[in-house]
Amino acid sequence: MHSNISAKKLSIIVPVCERTEETGSLFAEYKTYCDQLSDEVEYIYVVSAERAELTTELKEIQAQNSDMKLIILNRDYGEATAIQAGFSHATGDYILTLPPYKQVKTDELSKLFEQIGDFDIALAKRWPRLDSRSNQYQTRIFNKALQKLSGQKYDDIGCGVRLIKAEVLKEVFMYGDQWRFLPLLSYQIGYHSTEIELTQAGEDSHKRFYSPGVYLRRLLDLLTIIFLTKFNKKPLRFFGLIGSSSIIVSLIGLFYLAFEKLVLDIGMSDRPALVLFSLFLVLGCQLIAIGLVGETVIFTHSKDLKEYRIKKIIGQTE
């Protein structure tokens, strides 16, 4: 397997978005190990947002290494966009993405190549983990939630070390912070992923707590992805579910108020609960209406939609 892949060209893409303190010094280490992975290796660093010091440092490295490309984006669009920008300059058959900081032991990267087999994407799973319990719990909670919502099981979807066949990135459409969800998005178009255990790097093990804003964004990302993967092309199923539960709540409440009025003779007209349940009713109807507008969007663009991906056509083609 190993020799098979090493004959092919490998492009390494590093999206430089966050935790960039060691990025420059890490290049040498990445290069030492990655040059052994394939006969032909190129390095693509994508710096999102102008970071003056870092850019100068990377430019110096670039000047010394002809196999390195440096792409500078004028604004921070998120990791997914950075990777796509890097990919548009990549020529390899395989793409290896690495974070700008150390997540796994670099000398174990070859495991990805050895074990990818027939899969289209090999995800690194940081295991054994060296970092604190709180970090591990955060990872586990996020991945469990994702599994519950999407029905697909990944143990460490937050790890940025990934080996991907070039054709996957050509086809998959992602933007903003959706990089971590690549396996889910590519499953949508019929590409399969596997997780491979790599030992976590000691440098990755410091305690991480993010600002509440980051957690909120993660949560919204999660919802977006669920919407895009599960209810893609059926917006009414999504909005209808929330809308009809809101309507059911309101109907139960309204019936209860009517019951009180008719049987117990408690007047309705001075009860704030009536306003609350009317609001629920209206909210539910509005959500369903929005779902219908979504369906109209899908319908009017349905000529462009292809729900399926063909592996191959067997038999007479002419």
* Interface residue list for other proteins (CB under 8 A): 187, 189-192, 233-234, 236-237, 240, 269-272, 274-275, 278-279, 282, 285-286, 288-290, 292-293, 295-318
Distance of closest approach, residue 317 Cβ to other proteins, in angstroms: 7
Of residues 4 and 316, the one with the C-beta less far from other proteins? 316
Query: How far is CA 263 from its chain centroid?
Result: 55
Distance of closest approach, residue 168 Cβ to other proteins, in angstroms: 11
Distance of closest approach, residue 287 Cβ to other proteins, in angstroms: 11
Contact call for residues 16 and 45 (beta carbons, < 8 A): yes
Omega of the bond prior to 235 within 30 degrees of 0, cis?
A: no
Of residues 72 and 298, the one with the C-beta less far from other proteins? 298
Of residues 49 and 274, the one with the C-beta less far from other proteins? 274
How far is 107 from 177, CA to CA, in rounded Å?
28
Distance of closest approach, residue 108 Cβ to other proteins, in angstroms: 30
How far is 176 from 178, CA to CA, in rounded Å?
6
Distance of closest approach, residue 304 Cβ to other proteins, in angstroms: 7
Structure tokens at 276: 């609350």
Using CA atoms of 91, 97, 101, 106 in order, give the dihedral in degrees to the nearest 10. Answer: -100
User: 272-300 and 235-259 are packed helices; what angle lies between their axes, rounded to 10 degrees?
Assistant: 160
Structure tokens at 160: 């940025």
**Greatest C-alpha distance within the chain:** 87
Of residues 132 and 152, the one with the C-beta less far from other proteins? 152
Of residues 52 and 310, the one with the C-beta less far from other proteins? 310
